[in-house]
Amino acid sequence: MATSYKPPLDAIRFALFDVIGAEPVYARLGFANATRDVMDAVLDEAARFTETVLVPISDVGDQIGCSLDKSTGEVTTPPGFRAAHDTFVDGGWSGLTAPEALGGQDMPESLGAAVKEMLDAANLGWANYTLLSHGAIEALKHHGEDWQKTAFLAPIIEGKWMGTMCLTEPQAGTDLGLLRTRAEPSASGDGSYAISGTKIFITGGEHDLTPNIVHLVLARLPDAPAGTKGISLFIVPKFKVGKDGVMGERNGLRCASIEHKMGIHGSSTCVMNFEGAQGWLIGQPNKGLNAMFTMMNTARLAVGLQGLGLMDRATQNAERYANERLQGRSLSGAKFPDKPADPIIVHGPVRQLLSTCRTLTAGSRMLVLHAALQVDIIERSKDDAERANAESLLGFLTPIVKACLTEWSVEVTYDALQVFGGAGYIRETGMEQLARDARITTIYEGTTQVQAMDLLGRKILQLQGVGMRQFLGLVQKFCEEQAVNVDMHGYVLPLAEATKRWGELTMDIARRAAGNPDVVGECAVDFLFYSGYVALAYWHARAAATATAAGAKADNPHLRDAADYFARILPRTATLAVLLKPDRATV
């Protein structure tokens, strides 16, 4: 018996449509297909797919996992994974947000993000393959030549093939400048390259979901400069593909082994050996990292969504268990005197665990969907200034989403397991699988520490905080709008206070960092979390404003979550503010 999962359609619609107000934005951006009734149908169908197809194989995916036949280099995914992929493709899900011209359905990325949350929650091991495929779509869409789009991108959008991102090597993880994989111009003169080297930690590097796998591989050309300025990006398919798009013979690459991991057992994590494999350059020589960043930003939001999905599933189960499990009596007297004991939800410490789970989940959903909406604006707006603003804002939000939502998923899956007590530690309840699965999310696609350095070092200091100013503008506008609304003062005043302090801390850090670059490393992680907690305060306040405007009573769940967030989570900034003060000893 694994954990149950009920797709949170009401919560998704409340966040995306009621609070964020995505519908008019979609209309303005020209998403002709994204009418409300079509989007509602998409969400309903996605929910049905996750519940009926993915949830039933999430437990077996963990217990059986993937296996490698060393003699052939072929990977077998868990029972049911391939059939689920076929159903996914038949439903048109693989091209949900891709352009119609390439066979996609042209739905907004932010709607796609809501769908991803459900896929991730239902079966992270399975959904992880689609994450990388989506990253490959983005890179090919933005940087591929026309024939590459036809030959490689269209089949990936169709779901016939899948994509991967091959970055890491044993000596080159975060520091891609150290990578050694080589690309030499092919002697045949057909414009292709021979790719040789070893890549590790390749999600979906080998699997049996599709007949071909399109690897996007970072490698060095013979004359490339050292470091990150000498890295190029190549398309290297498992089976060679001609410029006519026809799949030919096996290419010179092979899965050498798969990792045995703490979790996400359904997702294959491969060591890939490239031995003179035929590859095709994407974009300009030595500009591979630029193209890869396109994939990485998409992937970072997507990993944040993984965190969200796990949080929601863990929270649902913990709430159910806390209402069912009878132990002890409320301190203020039996609440269910006719039962042998009260349900454990009457106990303060249990309520606090659940409150943390609920408020982080609900806040995270608004934060990430709003970030995903910036992707839609960047891709579709015809207004240069709006696009530039969205670009800055997204650059600022991406490390926050990636780092905070994944760290919170570790916390929430921890708390939810704790609600179960000893039952949470045994495999049967499925809670420990959520905790094991969550543990990778703070690592891959750039660790929390890397996100923090990206946020403070690059987005705040190098780019002079332009994205943060966009966000501060949103907060200020909201606070001004709500100034006359007395019911909202309990949210708006602490939000304004935390935001003001955040701005002051930022200026202070910037001043100190100008004289001492090590200050960035010392402040980065605390600053990132401070930012995340302020961002969630903004979204909870907006949710409260939305609910209040709709006539919510005091027992409205959105008001309760917002109140709980301000009471118990936002105060975490008090410690972070102390840590960010200049007079603290350095470590």
Instruction: Give the count of residues interacting with a copy of itself (CB under 8 A).
Output: 83
For a copy of itself, the closer CB: 552 or 577: 577
Query: DSSP letters of 186-208?
Result: -TT-SS-EEEEEEEEEEETSS-S
Judged by CB under 8 A, the chain residues 144 through 173 that form the site for a copy of itself are 168, 171-173
Does position 178 interact with a copy of itself (CB under 8 A)? The reply is: yes
Please state, in angstroms and rounded to a whole number, the distance separating the CA atoms of residues 464 and 507: 10
User: Nearest-5° angle of CA 212, CA 70, CA 158?
Assistant: 15
In whole angstroms, what is the distance from residue 14 CA to residue 545 CA? Answer: 12
DSSP string, 279-314: EEEESSTTBHHHHHHHHHHHHHHHHHHHHHHHHHHH
C-alpha R_g of the chain: 24
Considering the complex, what minimum distance in angstroms separates the CB of residue 432 from a copy of itself? 4
CA–CA gap between residue 277 and residue 155 (Å, rounded): 20
Judged by CB under 8 A, does residue 332 bind a copy of itself? Answer: yes
Q: What are the CA-CA distances from residue 483 to residues 77, 187, 471 (Å)?
A: 55, 70, 18
Pick between residue 250 and residue 339 the one whose CB is nearest to a copy of itself.
339
**Contact range with a copy of itself by CB under 8 A, out of 32-40, 380-388, 500-508, 520-528:** 520-528
In angstroms, the CA 90 to CA 88 distance is 6
Backbone torsions φ then ψ of 183, nearest 5 degrees: -130, 120
Taking residues 532 to 551 in sequence order and writing x for each that binds a copy of itself by CB under 8 A, - otherwise, the string is --------------------
CB of 78 closer than 8 Å to CB of 65: yes
Element (H, E) at 166: strand 162-166
Cβ(284)–Cβ(83) below 8 Å: no
- 351 is a site residue for a copy of itself (CB under 8 A): yes
Does residue 269 interact with a copy of itself by CB under 8 A?
Answer: yes
Q: Which range touches a copy of itself (CB under 8 A), out of 122-130, 153-161, 290-298, 340-348?
A: 340-348
Give me the least distance between CB of 323 and a copy of itself, in Å please: 15
Selected binder of a copy of itself within 89, 224, 326, 493 (CB under 8 A): 326
Q: In this complex, which beta carbon is closest to a copy of itself, that of residue 115 or of residue 354? A: 354
> What letter represents residue 174's amino acid?
T
175, 190, 383, 504: residue in contact with a copy of itself (rule CB under 8 A): 175
Q: Which residues are catalytic?
A: 445
- Per CB under 8 A, contacts with a copy of itself among 481-510 are none
Q: How far is the CB of 460 from a copy of itself (least distance, A)?
A: 14
Q: In terms of CB distance, is 189 or 422 closer to a copy of itself?
A: 422
Q: Which stretch binds a copy of itself (CB under 8 A): 124-132, 229-237, 519-527, 548-556?
A: 519-527
Q: Which of residues 443-472 bind a copy of itself (CB under 8 A)?
A: 443-444, 447-449, 452-453, 457
Do residues 96 and 108 lie in contact, with contact meaning Cβ atoms separated by under 8 Å?
Answer: no
Q: Does 323 bind a copy of itself (CB under 8 A)?
A: no
Inter-CA distances, 219 with 166, 172, 398, 444, Å? 9, 12, 26, 20
Q: Tell me the HSE value of 114 on the side-chain side, using a 13 A CA sphere.
A: 31
Instruction: Please report whether residue 521 would count as binding a copy of itself according to CB under 8 A.
Output: yes
Of the listed pieces 93-101, 275-283, 329-337, 543-551, which binds a copy of itself according to CB under 8 A?
A: 329-337
Query: What span, in angstroms and rounded, lies between the C-alpha atoms of 69 and 75?
Result: 6
The stretch near a copy of itself (CB under 8 A) out of 109-117, 312-320, 390-398, 511-519 is: 511-519
With binding defined as CB under 8 A, does residue 582 bind a copy of itself?
no
Q: H or E element: which one contains 216?
A: strand 213-219
Q: Give residues 400-439 in contact with a copy of itself (rule: CB under 8 A).
A: 410, 414, 417-418, 421-422, 424-428, 432, 435-436, 439
